[in-house]
């Protein structure tokens, strides 16, 4: 069964789970759970997150210059 996720529902600003910068992205893990990332830490961890099947979304109010996830 395929599960659709409508993106993050978070509306309050949070900090990155790796540093004190403001979070701009949320990574949602296939087994459950999520982490918040600033742009810098997402660039570091992006490939590994995507290779493990995580969904990565920009948080509301944060524009991105290029797609976060490869389209299927």
User: Per-residue pLDDT for the chain (72 aa), expressed as one digit of tens each?
Assistant: 455 556 555 445 689 999 999 999 999 999 999 999 999 999 999 999 999 999 999 998 766 555 555 544
The closest of 66, 30, 54 to 46, measured between CA atoms, is 54
Task: List Cα–Cα distances, 18 to 4, 5, 25, 65, in angstroms.
Answer: 27, 24, 12, 22
Whether pTM > 0.75 for this model: the answer is no
CA–CA separation, 8 and 5 (whole Å): 8
The structure tokens listed for 45 are: 């961890």
Dihedral of CA 15/27/7/9: which sign? negative
What is the reported pLDDT for 71? 46
The closest of 41, 37, 40, 33 to 59, measured between CA atoms, is 37
What is the residue extent of each domain of the chain?
25-58
Q: What is the pLDDT of residues 19-30, one digit of tens each?
A: 999 999 999 999
């Amino acid at each position: 069964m395929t599960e659709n996720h409508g993106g993050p529902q978070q509306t309050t600003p949070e900090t990155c789970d790796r540093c004190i910068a403001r979070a701009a992205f949320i990574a949602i893990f296939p087994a459950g759970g999520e982490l918040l990332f600033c742009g810098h830490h997402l660039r570091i961890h992006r490939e590994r997150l995507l290779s493990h099947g995580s969904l990565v979304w920009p948080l509301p109010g944060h524009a991105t210059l290029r797609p976060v996830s490869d389209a299927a």
